Structure 1
Amino acid sequence: MSAYRQNPLANLSPVVKNLLILNIIFFVATWSLKKIGLVDLDLLLAAHYFDSPYFRVWQIISYMFMHADIFHIFFNMFALYVFGPMLEYTMGPKRFLQFYFITGLGALALQMAVQAFEVHQIIGTFTVPGHDIRPYQYTAGYEYLWATYSAYGGIVGASGAIFGLLVAFGMLFPNVELFIMFIPLPVKAKYAVIGYIVWELWGGLRPTPGDSVAHFAHLGGALLGFILIKVWRMQRPNNFY
């Protein structure tokens, strides 16, 4: 019976396979190094606010390979595993990789812009002189300002790029039926993607206490995904309806 067992990665497209492997390596390394107290990779590789003392230029790329916990990486990698191969075969490996990183960059750009707007709303400027937020500790929104500037204010995850892939899938394969958790009937991809984006927009505009999800990063990835599909004039394959 073991002769018929197949490696679940065997039929994956090459870029998707390598992205999965890299994300898992980063996750395991982050957890292991933090566990033994050697180094906190979140501080070095998560994307921090551009004016934060913890910001480093490489974080605009490295943040895409960092994840907050096992559930975060599982759902992102599951989506990459499900939707990535079909998109890579349609776009080609080079363009697919470009698409993935461009949407990830767009996700961070929109999230940073929203953070800058909110910081400006709190203290009247986009930057904090000397990176010292103590004078603002009695200002409304101080907790958000502290989170933005502290080591715990970093943005992590491939979710922005994943949202770009979801939008691409919905545009190129709009009528493929998907089974979504808690919904007993299949939903066409185009409707599922639109619904998910509306949900994220609602979450971004109506934040709830304790919500640590970077909703605008998701929306940024989705927006860049839509723009790229249009600019590149990509069409759905003829053998799909």
Structure 2
Amino acid sequence: MIVTLILIGLTVAVSLAAFNDARLKQQLVLWPPAVRRRREYWRLLSYGFVHADGMHLFFNMFTLFFFGQQMEAYLTLKMGLFGLPLLYVGGLVASILPSYVRHQNDPNYYSLGASGAVAAVLFAGVLLRPGATIYVFFIPMPALVFGIAYIAYSWYMDRQSNDNINHSAHLWGAGFGLMFMALLEPSLVGRLLR
């Protein structure tokens, strides 16, 4: 579980530093004009290591802790120690690219947080174990039911776009996690459909 803990530790350290340093936070968040005009490409990754507040950080890292260790164990067997980092970093980039393209000329758009990468890890876990029990606010439900509800909610909220949450990143991160696992282990898709 060392990789999961490293990802959590790094994210917590950077987020806490950014909570106390507004300049650092501004240098790390995804601000599309900076990527496009100034070629600050690191923002396509660094945005995932800063969070809006403590609750945002807590929920992302809490979810990563539980699903990360499951996925780390599985991916280490399949791919070695780089399996989870590939899923996580791939989820970070894949989840933000649609938002970047949509807002590349919008100087008022910012995005931050690891939610897209965490969604990739979470949905990789859902595909791996669709019948596993997930507790959502202490309510148990099958992982597959949670996954469908999460995607429906994120899709609906993305269409509303009346809050400051990048629901598109949740959707694309989830899609990346599903695709990552389907390519790694195609039999999982057939098993899910059965």
TM-score range relative to shorter protein: 0.7 to 0.9
Contact 2:130 2:143 (C-alpha < 8 Å) held by counterparts: yes
- Cα offsets for 1:173-205 (capped at 9, x unmatched): 11111221174xx20011101111110000011
- SS of the residue corresponding to residue 21 of structure 2 reads helix
Aligned mates of 2:57, 2:115 — CA distance in 1: 9
Contact 1:204 1:216 (C-alpha < 8 Å) held by counterparts: yes
Contact 1:201 1:215 (C-alpha < 8 Å) held by counterparts: yes
Contact 2:33 2:107 (C-alpha < 8 Å) held by counterparts: no
Aligned to 1:206: 160
Query: Which residue of 22, 26, 29 maps to 2:14?
Result: 26
Residue 222 in structure 1 maps to residue 178 in structure 2: no
- Cα offsets for 1:64-84 (capped at 9, x unmatched): 101011111010000001111
Give 1 or 2: higher helix fraction: 2
Matches within 5 A, 1:174-213: 174-181=130-137, 183=139, 186-208=140-162, 211-213=163-165
Aligned to 2:31: 48
Structure 1 residue runs without a partner (length 5+)? 1-12, 35-39, 117-126, 128-147, 237-241
Aligned to 1:149: 107
Computing the radius of gyration over CA atoms, which structure comes out larger, 1 or 2?
1
Structure 2 residue runs without a partner (length 5+)? 189-194
Give the % identical residues: 26
Q: 2:24 is matched by which residue type in structure 1?
A: L
Normalising by structure 2, we get a TM-score of 0.87
- Cα offsets for 1:79-132 (capped at 9, x unmatched): 00111101100011311110110011000112223335xxxxxxxxxx4xxxxx
Aligned mates of 1:201, 1:225 — CA distance in 2: 16
- SS of the residue corresponding to residue 32 of structure 2 reads coil
Aligned mates of 1:106, 1:18 — CA distance in 2: 21
Aligned to 1:170: 126
Q: 1:226 is matched by which residue type in structure 2?
A: L
| Number of residue pairs the alignment of both structures matches | 183
